[in-house]
Structure 1
Amino acid sequence: MESSVPSEDRQRAAPSDNPRVAYRHQMLGLCTAGSSFYLAGRIVIPPLAVPIKDGFGIGNAEFGLALSILWAAYALMQFPGGVTSDATGHKAVLVGSMLISGVGFALLATGGTYEAFLVAALVTGVGGGLFMIVQFRFLSVLYGDNKGRAFGLSGGITGIAGVVAPIAATSIVGVASWRHPFAAMVVIVIAVALVLHVRVRERYVFERPALSAAVSRSIDQISSAKILLLMAITAIFSVAVQAVTTFIPLFMYEVKGLSLSMSGTMLSVYFLVAVVARPISGTLSDVVGRRTVAGSALVFSGVLLAYVVLVAKPFYALLVSFALFSWAIVSFSPAMDAYYMDLFADDSMGGAFGLARTFILFVGSTGPYLIGVGAETSGFANSFAIISGCLVLAGAMLLATTRAF
């Protein structure tokens, strides 16, 4: 594979080397733009749960199934995306994944049946899964030891999309079709693909990855007790995140009695907090330790989620406690993602991290369906309470084993 990305960038560009530093920052901006617009298109689905359910005549379980399919596809693309980027470089996967996401959004904008909605969710998940894993690898190569800060900045800025998109989506209900936001996203993600095509300094190299060797190397890297424990803990986090971001708007609407627009705004609060929390978490993990930051985030998020679900009643208490929960849980990813990248070898980083994320996110993809079923059998409160307990347990395990590994 040939790439015009300078080899020195695979470690850390010298601060005085302005062209290389400028290129790193430009790539950080482009990767962040891609993840932001993908998130915007995906995150409007939960706030639009009511009109989508009404339009297709489905219940919570069927709606949760669609989101689980999206996340399962997202998960299953992690390893293929990582292995492909190890073999061919980043450019082809970054550009191709944005185009696939555009197809998914187009299907969401036009599909007229529930079955078509499921297919659209599947394609959208494929595009996002390919993009996100390669983005992590690309930024890790460019930023070296400062990857935690880069991941935090990217995640924080991406959170702006999560702030704006739910508010914009719910504001158009009653004025225009719920499909219109997805039509807009088709144009935007194709534009991002074109800019990536022009600006990423790599040649297109189309090689078939050596899958058997890649699988063997990746399995070797993730098969230690240390990595398996980390994967189990991160899978619990993934279930919680998918469950919360899918059903918190509906929970706020049906259980807490908020209006449809205010329920969508609560999801925006989650991403607004992430704009500030993720860069702080990533930078802090570079300084005080990745496991300490990640473990503390899980413990606090579990306690705060229990309070949101079981205790918080006045609106101000609900808002403040949910904002604090959001701060805690979004602080986990920048620290833990950087920790995984610290552990994996450079030549198989994409495949190893991709295989780990495939397991993590595939388990996480069950979250929306499980909460949807749980909401219809025992109620939202009981389902979320179980998740809060699992978060506390996972965080305690991570903190307790910090010295053991």
Structure 2
Amino acid sequence: MLLVVSLGWAALQTGRFLLSPLLPTIIADLQITEATAGVALALFQGVYALSQYPGGEYSDRWTRATLIVPGLLVLVVGFVAFGFAWSLPAFVAAAAVVGLGKGLFAIPSRALLSDLFVRRRGRALGVYAAGTDVGGLLSSGLAVLALGYATWRTPFFPVAAVLAAVTVLYVLWSREGYRVGDASLDVGGTARRLVTSPQQRGTLLAFSLFYFMVGGFINFLPTYLAVSKGFSQGLASATFAIVFAVGLAVKPVAGGLGDRFSRRGIAVVGIGFAALSLGALVAAGSKPVVWVAVGLTAVGYKTGFPLADAIIMDDAPDGGMGADLGAARALFLGANALGPAYVGVVVTYANYAAAFGGLVVCLVVAAAILLYGERNGE
């Protein structure tokens, strides 16, 4: 199960991250502005965010498989739709469908791993989260090939085919049944659990700021490098791959350290380091310095993903783990959805330095909030 859900996550993240290096070409082909592209990506993230909580709570009440399999099927449909997106409305519709499928898959698959790996939850989630970086690396290579030999729509078809194969493997290997039960949602009870203590409220705010930064950074990094740093699209895509190569190594290590030491403490160090490195990226004037700054930024912020999920799961009751994680990630990803819209609007009316400088501030504040909660033990 660890293998198949991690493969599914890697495949869907490959398709999702294709949008970043292909974004300049998509903007030109569909004849839209950066602001419009940012809003379209925000819609994708918004649908993904809104589907987190229902997916999590229903997977607690029904079975994990009851949500995972439909989520994978919706993803297949969504990526095929990207391959046929010849207009802005079609592109937006495909983004919404992929966002829904990703939301249905994300929380039940994480909750499944948490059920199976209780004592090594951080390590298992780190391996799973590293699928994001596998997907990012693959997307960078596919984008280069698509830009050189095909169209921006072409690589979404093989992504859909891989997800279809993952669906078959999951159905064959899973021993869970499929059950649909009560469809009501205990929103109030879940919300009260999440904000019980000042430390939990601080954690939610800190990681919301963190996810906001990630949304803006990861969606616009290749375009930022091309526009502000003078990179070609191919070189920008290759530099984009550095983020994921680093994350592939960092996430399992960060998750394992979180199992042994303070998860919040490690997150403070990582997020603070990311703030310094992102500031250096904004100030960088040469390509070698840019490459180093991108790599160091990734070292810092990639620690946050397995730690955020594990912290929420640590505080959740056994019967409400999926609901709590889904609600928390809905908040995080709601903030994440605003990130690309923020960058797109600021770039349209100001510049990339101002937009990315604001993301540095978000990281500094997030690290400060986590540090305060850790030191005061609230």
The TM-score normalised by the length of structure 1 is 0.91
Aligned residues: 376
Q: Is the 8 A contact 1:152 1:283 kept in 2?
A: yes
Please give the per-residue CA displacement for 1:288-340, whole angstroms capped at 9, x wherever unaligned: 21000111111111111011012x12211111111011010001111221111
For 1:297, which of 270, 281, 289 is the aligned residue?
270
For 1:131, which of 99, 105, 108 is the aligned residue?
105
Amino acid aligned to 1:52 = I
Q: Which residue of 2 aligns with 1:391?
A: 363
> Per-residue deviation at 1:223?
2.4
Q: Which residue of 2 aligns with 1:313?
A: 285
CA distance in 2, matches of 1:319, 1:84: 43
> Per-residue deviation at 1:218?
0.8
1:358 aligns with 2:367: no
Q: Percent identity?
A: 29
Amino acid aligned to 2:202 = L
> Per-residue deviation at 1:167?
2.1
Q: Is the 8 A contact 1:75 1:361 kept in 2?
A: yes
For 2:77, which of 70, 78, 103 is the aligned residue?
103
For 2:9, which of 35, 50, 74 is the aligned residue?
35
Q: How does 1:219-238 map to 2 (within 5 A)?
A: 219-224=191-196, 225-238=198-211
CA distance in 2, matches of 1:266, 1:246: 14
Please give the per-residue CA displacement for 1:325-360, whole angstroms capped at 9, x wherever unaligned: 101000111122111100000101111111111111
Q: Which residue of 2 aligns with 1:286?
A: 259
The TM-score normalised by the length of structure 2 is 0.97
Q: Is the 8 A contact 2:49 2:334 kept in 1?
A: yes
Q: Which residue of 1 aligns with 2:316?
A: 344
Please give the per-residue CA displacement for 1:9-50, whole angstroms capped at 9, x wherever unaligned: xxxxxxxxxxxxxxxxxx111110010000000100110112
> Per-residue deviation at 1:226?
2.5
Q: How does 1:186-205 map to 2 (within 5 A)?
A: 186-205=160-179
Q: Which residue of 2 aligns with 1:167?
A: 141
Amino acid aligned to 1:93 = L
Q: Is the 8 A contact 1:171 1:261 kept in 2?
A: no
Amino acid aligned to 1:286 = D
Q: Is the 8 A contact 2:203 2:369 kept in 1?
A: no
Shifted more, 388-397 versus 223-232: the winner is 223-232
RMSD: 1.2
CA distance in 1, matches of 2:4, 2:122: 18
CA distance in 1, matches of 2:276, 2:155: 35
Q: Equivalent residue of 1:291, what SS?
A: helix
CA distance in 2, matches of 1:145, 1:182: 37
CA distance in 2, matches of 1:348, 1:287: 24
Q: Equivalent residue of 1:205, what SS?
A: coil
CA distance in 1, matches of 2:76, 2:172: 18
Q: Is the 8 A contact 1:167 1:261 kept in 2?
A: no
Please give the per-residue CA displacement for 1:231-290, whole angstroms capped at 9, x wherever unaligned: 111111111111111000000001000110111112211111011000110001111210
Amino acid aligned to 2:188 = S
CA distance in 1, matches of 2:116, 2:148: 46
Q: Which residue of 2 aligns with 1:85?
A: 59
CA distance in 1, matches of 2:140, 2:265: 32
Q: Which residue of 1 aligns with 2:122?
A: 148
CA distance in 2, matches of 1:342, 1:220: 16
Q: Is the 8 A contact 2:254 2:306 kept in 1?
A: yes
Shifted more, 355-364 versus 82-91: the winner is 355-364
CA distance in 2, matches of 1:325, 1:343: 29
Q: Is the 8 A contact 2:65 2:178 kept in 1?
A: yes
For structure 2, which runs of at least 5 residues remain unmatched after alignment? none
Q: Is the 8 A contact 2:61 2:181 kept in 1?
A: yes
Amino acid aligned to 1:190 = A
Shifted more, 150-159 versus 179-188: the winner is 150-159
Q: Is the 8 A contact 1:217 1:352 kept in 2?
A: no
> Per-residue deviation at 1:157?
4.2
Q: Is the 8 A contact 1:217 1:348 kept in 2?
A: no
Amino acid aligned to 2:108 = V
CA distance in 1, matches of 2:134, 2:87: 31
For structure 1, which runs of at least 5 residues remain unmatched after alignment? 1-26
CA distance in 2, matches of 1:79, 1:154: 20
CA distance in 1, matches of 2:132, 2:174: 20
Q: Which residue of 2 aligns with 1:117?
A: 91
